């Protein structure tokens, strides 16, 4: 493939291993087996070199994000080497945001200190809950005490930018228990908080349990009440919602994730990682073994290109218009009408005729300051709003 890199880009590294698969998880992650991680890291270093040669003298990444899986299942020294290899191969911009995802059960002060010394300046901690009963039901390997200890150790290690991931709508979770979790999380004072409703994904152990009736989920009304409670509690505590599910202190928005939400370009390395550039998305082989074999044999690990390279440019343009509209609406700042016009040379209303007017009449979006935004009502039915943008008029 011919990689065309824009003036700014993000870099993502995927570590597809964890100690144990959680019951709700359908992410591209696998319980680690002896020797698998070592082989994978070797292949990852080779792929970093391959990607460096492919992009040549392209611009330096402004962000680096190492996600998973559980990246901190690897020794901190190996993660530090991955950061160093990326910096050496691509030349990270000065002051680049460098994030590592962390499971509270796989990190301590020494490992976090090693990451901080390696240039990692943002830690994303997968707390999910601060209630041991709920954590056990999710199949998590950590406890609420582990979360608190991880935040403490991260600060002692020098991290001044910490995110906590939380889930709501968990089996047996009530609105009151969720409110208690929010209060405890605010008490930990992270710079960034991400909240996500639990999704029951097909083929997961959780889906089987729900189908059998062994697990009862909170009602839809309770889930909406939890979402509403999160918005009120976090905003009262000084966190601004800048994306549907993400809140931060001023200046601590995730620079890497903003690249995604602005439909920017980024390079993804590792099993199942996605790259976006040249109005196409490139997906690497999902299984770690397939990824390793491709790299070891000198082949590209890319297994799928969407739209295919032979597809007309208009198809790629239409896809990018849809994605730009949908992801822009996820942001609290909304979708800029001028930005859309400048990017595509087309007016948003011309590309999606009647859509803005119909959604506004239904109270789901509003327009002000040159941007279209989801209303509070629209937030709760965002997927229904997004479906209205799947058929752009590009001819």
pLDDT tens sequence for the chain (395 residues) = 334 444 468 999 999 999 888 888 888 888 888 899 999 999 999 999 888 877 766 678 999 999 999 999 999 999 999 999 999 999 888 889 999 999 999 999 999 999 999 999 999 999 999 999 999 999 999 999 999 999 999 999 999 999 999 999 999 999 999 999 999 999 999 999 999 999 988 899 888 998 898 988 999 999 999 999 999 999 999 999 999 999 999 999 999 999 999 999 999 999 999 999 888 999 999 999 999 999 999 999 999 999 998 888 889 999 999 999 999 999 999 999 999 999 999 999 999 999 999 999 999 999 999 999 999 999 999 999 999 999 999 87
Identify the DSSP state of 73: G
- CA 240, 243, 245, 246 torsion-angle sign: negative
- So what's the pLDDT on residue 4? 40
Query: Which class in CATH covers the domain with range 9-261?
Result: alpha beta
Find how far residue 249's CA is from the centre of its chain. Answer: 18
- So what's the pLDDT on residue 268? 95
Query: Which class in CATH covers the domain with range 313-389?
Result: mainly alpha
Quick one: which of 186, 105, 182, 116 has its CA closest to 146?
A: 105
Evaluate whether 194 touches 246 at the Cβ level (below 8 Å). yes
- State the greatest distance between any 2 C-alpha atoms of the chain, in Å, as a whole number: 58
- So what's the pLDDT on residue 57? 64
pTM of the model: 0.94
Quick one: which of 56, 66, 62 has its CA closest to 5?
A: 56
Evaluate whether 261 touches 331 at the Cβ level (below 8 Å). yes
Mapping DSSP to helix (H, G, I), strand (E, B) and coil, where does residue 89 land? helix
Helix, strand, coil shares, percent, the chain, to 5: 45, 20, 35
List the beta bridge partners of residue 371: 336, 368
- So what's the pLDDT on residue 2? 38
- The crossing angle, in degrees rounded to 10, of helices 36-55 and 288-296 is 50
Identify the DSSP state of 331: B
Find how far residue 323's CA is from the centre of its chain. Answer: 16
d(CA 255, CA 257): 6
Sequence ranges of the domains in the chain: 9-261, 313-389
Quick one: which of 166, 55, 156 has its CA closest to 111?
A: 156
- So what's the pLDDT on residue 8? 65
């Amino acid at each position: 493939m011919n990689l065309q890199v824009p003036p700014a880009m993000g870099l993502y590294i995927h570590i597809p291993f964890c100690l144990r698969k959680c019951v709700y998880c359908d992410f591209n992650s696998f319980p680690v087996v002896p020797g698998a991680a070592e082989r994978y890291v070797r292949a990852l270093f080779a792929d970093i070199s391959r990607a460096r040669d492919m992009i040549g003298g392209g611009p330096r990444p402004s962000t680096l994000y190492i996600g998973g899986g559980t990246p901190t299942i690897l020794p901190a020294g190996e993660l530090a080497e991955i950061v160093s290899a990326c910096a050496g191969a691509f030349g990270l911009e000065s002051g680049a945001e460098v994030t590592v995802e962390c499971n509270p059960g796989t990190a301590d002060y020494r490992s976090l200190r090693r990451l901080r010394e390696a240039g990692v300046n943002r830690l994303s901690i997968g707390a999910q809950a601060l209630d041991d009963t709920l954590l056990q039901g999710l199949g998590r390997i950590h406890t609420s005490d582990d979360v608190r200890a991880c935040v403490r150790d991260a600060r002692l290690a020098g991290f001044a930018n910490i995110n906590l991931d939380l889930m709501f709508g968990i089996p047996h979770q009530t609105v009151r228990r969720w409110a208690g979790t929010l209060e405890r999380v605010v008490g930990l004072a992270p710079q960034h908080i991400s909240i996500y409703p639990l999704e029951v994904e097909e083929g997961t152990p959780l889906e089987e349990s729900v189908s059998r009736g062994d697990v009862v989920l909170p009602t839809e009304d309770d889930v909406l009440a939890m979402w509403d409670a999160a918005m009120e509690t976090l905003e009262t505590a000084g966190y601004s919602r800048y994306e549907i599910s993400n809140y931060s202190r001023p200046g601590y928005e995730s620079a890497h994730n903003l690249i995604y939400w602005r439909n920017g370009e980024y390079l993804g390395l590792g099993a199942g990682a996605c790259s976006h550039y040249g109005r196409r998305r490139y997906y690497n082989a999902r299984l770690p073994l397939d990824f390793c074999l491709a790299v070891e044999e000198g082949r590209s690990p890319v297994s799928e290109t969407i739209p295919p390279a032979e597809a007309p440019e208009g198809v790629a343009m239409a896809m990018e218009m849809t994605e730009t509209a949908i992801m822009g609406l996820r942001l609290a700042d909304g979708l800029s009408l001028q930005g859309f016009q400048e990017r595509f040379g087309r007016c948003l209303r011309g590309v999606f005729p009647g859509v803005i007017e119909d959604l506004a009449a239904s109270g789901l979006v509003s327009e002000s300051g040159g941007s279209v935004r989801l209303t509070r009502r629209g937030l709760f039915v965002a997927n229904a709003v997004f479906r209205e943008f799947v058929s752009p008029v590009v001819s």
